[in-house]
Amino acid sequence: MNLVIVESPTKSKTISRFLGKNYKVLASFGHIRDLPKRELGVDIEKNFEPKYVIPPNSRKTISELKKEAAKAENTILATDEDREGESIAWHLAQALGLGNFQIRNPKPETIRQPADKIQNSKPYQRIVFHEITKEAIQEALKNPRDIDMNLVDAQQARRILDRIVGYKLSPFLWKKISKGLSAGRVQSVAVRLVVEREREIEKFVPIEYWNVEALLKKADKEFSTSLSKKDGKSIDKLEVKNKTEADKILSDLNGAEYIVENIEKKETKKYPAPPFTTSTLQQVSWQRFRFSAKMTMSIAQKLYEEGRITYHRTDSLNLSESSLTSAKKIISEKFGNNHWAGHFVRYKTKSKSAQEAHEAIRPTDADKTPKSLKNIDQRQLKLYTLIWQRFIASQMAPAIFDSVAADIKAGKYTFRASGQTLKFDGFLKAYPIKIQEKELPKLERNDQLGLVKLDPLQHFTEPPARYNDASLIKTLEKYGIGRPSTYAPTLATIQTRNYVEKNEQKRFAPTEIGTVVNDVLVQNFPEIVDIDFTAKMEKELDEVAGGKDSWQKTCGDFWKPFSKNLEEKYEKVQKADLIQKTDKICPKCGAPIIERFGRFGKFYACSKFPECKYTESIENKNKNLGIICPKCKEGELVIRKTKRGKIFYGCNRFPKCNFALWDKPVNEFCQKCESILIEKGKKIVCSNKECDYEEQNTKANKKKL
């Protein structure tokens, strides 16, 4: 009997289908060893030697795996092919007492011993694959290898660096700000990006500018044009500063003739996007479905484990020859030969650190179209459809448009009209995206056009938008902060720790405590939250993974200046003065009430703490909806959050009144049952599930317009 060990039960079930009776597939349920929870677990004086322990929830699993490994003729470690998966395989070898790599007729240089000081132990095999298919599993079994200790070292370095930052810096924040706070090497940079964007928005001063549009017509066909030139020189976007200047242009145009001066006709092509990487999948999944990065990765994990897609943690754009051949066949059969690109399209990633041995995210079997899948969760179907369409489209011909641009002379001014119509759909047949078509009437040079109306339009420059899941991941990737496996957990962590929160538009805004923590870190530990420094650390980890540097040196290079600075800051930095007096009196002891900062923001507390431990929540005025609680008739409804950061609406007299809603309430009551009404997209409906009352949400429609 051969024992195969993977990370998850779902993956083990899928792989079991492809192997015979001589194989038993079991799951380790992720990592089976880690650094201890309640201590640093790294001996800095002994060259950063880690102390690994088996967590209580893994002990039963390890016991079972040991029994099965003892009975097995051969143990095969089949964890994921990235650093994390390689590390899990190494920890399994350590915990199960596995020794030398087993291979037929091995070359001397291939024999390595991953488990230090393990003697007379059973051999193992390490196999990797980027897709869970019968062919991929069988091919991997034919080509076992040793554990790649360079990848293990890189993962170990990352883990130790993150542990040092967390365990050494967090106590500093407790002492100088408030207990319960924490810092992280990557998430602190993400918080800094959100805080700095918020300050850009706060400092932003809108600039007024105007544009003049002319609605013209030829025969009965009307079309819009925009002012582009004056005296043959292009007009800058902000050049027309106010209504007076706009009115002057209108006055100059009084009685002008509108004559076609020039026409440009050309054929333009729009090429398909490359197949997905982890980052682009998370971004498009957010844009299309509003799936958070964490949710996207959770769904993709299930699709991968069920053998539907290739490995979903990748920054490579490579595609296998077999997948390219398969795509060509499907395109020819479903859409016609003219929709295929005419050659295999190969994409190259811009990232120098991309693992080119991996593939982009694609279906394992492209013949399995989204419509052919049965008994599949709807969210999985949405994501699979997106991946399938993007992969197929990447090998298709470009979409072709007929583009027309016309310059229309009116006195000393020139107006510009642009139009485009779809000539050939190309890849859009498989991967639909929004394309704006605009058809102009047939124009010829010297055509005299009729003026329907002139519109002076006032505009104001807008501040930069707050980050959402897609734009924050794109920015992290742009600066080289983190890697495919870290984007989703980073975004989840900064929300769980209450450093940032999502507003009603699902965009990130810093919390009060997040801003305070960021400012302390920026002022005193600039290297921790410095974008370039963090990106440099990622490159050093890549060098460790490539065998070009040692993990101990990487940790040492970071620790020496960091520890020296930390020691100095403990002495120099005073505790942040975040206490504010109020005119409230403690109902327990009669002492004055003050405002304190905690992990979840400001709260009221007795000034005699710790003798008196009275506390009370502060309801932010911006969070008060001004709606009387329909249950107790005394309190008001406010925006609240669960411990996991999910927004709900409840009475401010909680716990005396426990009224709560998940959907945003409206200050109106149902005409049928008198329950409070709530917003549901484009409709206002009754909060009573047994009542079918609904009406149009005019507020939502106004926003849309």
Catalytically active residues, by annotation = 311
Question: Which single residue is written with the structure tokens 């650093």?
Answer: 83
Distance CA 350, CA 240 (A): 40
For residue 390 the two structure tokens come to 């993007």
CB 449 within 8 A of CB 259: yes
Sign for the CA dihedral angle at 683, 687, 689, 690 comes to negative
Angle between helices 9-16 and 293-305 (to 10 degrees): 30
Pairing relation of β-strands 122-126 and 98-101?
A: parallel
Distance CA 666, CA 663 (A): 10
> Rounded to whole angstroms, what are the CA distances from 283 to 201, 276, 363, 579?
23, 10, 19, 40
> Following CA atoms 339, 341, 346, 348 in sequence, which dihedral angle do they give, to the nearest 10 degrees?
-90
Distance CA 188, CA 168 (A): 14
Distance CA 157, CA 88 (A): 14
- The stretches of 547-591 forming alpha helices (DSSP H) are 551-572
CB 420 within 8 A of CB 404: yes
Distance CA 389, CA 383 (A): 10
Which of helix, strand or coil describes residue 285?
Answer: helix
Distance CA 363, CA 380 (A): 13
Angle at 623 between CA 644 and CA 576, to 5 degrees: 70
Distance CA 55, CA 32 (A): 7
**AA letter at 341:** A
HSE (side-chain half, CA atoms, 13 Å) at 276: 31
Distance CA 505, CA 467 (A): 10
Distance CA 199, CA 466 (A): 10
CB 182 within 8 A of CB 173: yes
Q: What are phi and psi of 488, to 5 degrees?
A: -60, -50
Contacts of 75 by beta carbon, 8 Å cutoff, 6+ apart? 2, 3, 5, 69, 96, 98, 122, 123, 124, 125
CA 6 centroid distance within chain: 26
Question: Which single residue is written with the structure tokens 């104001």?
Answer: 460
Q: What are phi and psi of 468, to 5 degrees?
A: -115, -175
Tell me the Ramachandran region of residue 426: left when phi exceeds 0, alpha when psi lies from -120 to 50, beta otherwise: left
Distance CA 280, CA 87 (A): 26
Beta-carbon neighbour count of residue 513 at 10 Å?
22
CB 541 within 8 A of CB 154: yes
> Rounded to whole angstroms, what are the CA distances from 686 to 201, 372, 391, 664, 667?
37, 38, 43, 11, 12
CB 468 within 8 A of CB 286: yes
For residue 322 the two structure tokens come to 């077999």
Beta-carbon neighbour count of residue 124 at 10 Å?
28
Q: What are phi and psi of 423, to 5 degrees?
A: -100, -40
Cis status of the peptide bond prior to 526, with omega within 30 of 0: no
- The DSSP secondary-structure symbol of 21 reads T
